[in-house]
Amino acid sequence: MRLGVQVRYGAGLLDLLKQAKDLGCNTIQFFNHNPRSWKNTTKPTQEEINKFKKETKKLNINPLFIHIPYLLNLATPDDNLYKRSINAFIKEVKEAQILGVEFLVMHLGSHKKSGEKFGLERITQALNIILDKTYESCVNILLENTAGSGSWLGYNFSHQGFILKNIRNKKRIGICLDTCHAYVSGYDISKKEGLNNLLKEIDKETGLEKLKLIHLNDAKDKCGSRRDRHQDIGKGYIGYSGMEEIVNHPFLKDIPFILETPKKTDSDDIRNLNTVRRLFHG
């Protein structure tokens, strides 16, 4: 089982691996810099990068996932923000390549009331530019589903399907399934039937082979509420039985799981990781 958490980038690259080791994780997700700022003030030295890559292999921590900063919006109708987001995204791809990170995770973005079709076309156009500008890279981009509040795209897997059908370089595009987001957007995955129906929809829209990561989070709110509030594993509306079905599903159990559960201290991560390990049948 590949199981990890979103780790903090406060003390640099090597501290990411220390956190993973202390928590017993064999995969991690992190922000490459402050997710709420356009400035990157955490530029590692080449020596740090070399040590990071060497230690990652030594500790068998893979795959590595970087989450794209929240400020980027590839669906925006604002041309200035659109261009800035594309340029920042290209930089993220190049930095991930240097670090040996295989996957970037992105939210589809908000169309800001300009319409879903307009927003999806903007995202597709932006990703075509990003992939063309980084054509030599082996970094893959994962489209994460969202809770669907406001004008956010990605709450329905037909959105990811639209992008995959209309993008030129399909090889470097995959899917990230967030369980909390799926549940609150209307997919009742607390039950086996609901989980299987969701997977059938993903298969129809994108192909299940495109599913490369699961954000394993319980939900604080009811199915269809569209409220993006994560809960500890088993303690939300998906519940222990729903989570047990997810982590042991024949197709899902071999896909990496990353927890983004509520966290005040490391003990919160330890508790949630241990819960998942107990639920997993092996």
Number of Cβ atoms within 10 Å of the Cβ of 46: 8
Our separate counts of H helices and E strands in the chain read 9, 10
- What is the CA angle 278-279-282, rounded to 5? 85
The set of catalytic residues is 36, 67, 70, 107, 144, 178, 181, 215, 228, 230, 260
Pairing of strands 64-67, 28-30: parallel
The DSSP secondary-structure symbol of 140 reads E
CB 174 within 8 A of CB 141: yes
Residue type, 161: G
**Ramachandran quadrant class, 119 (left: phi over 0; alpha: psi -120 to 50; beta: rest):** alpha
Distance CA 89, CA 223 (A): 32
Distance CA 223, CA 71 (A): 27
CA 55 vs CA 15, 30, 270: distances in Å: 11, 16, 22
Handedness of CA 22, 26, 28, 32 (dihedral sign): positive
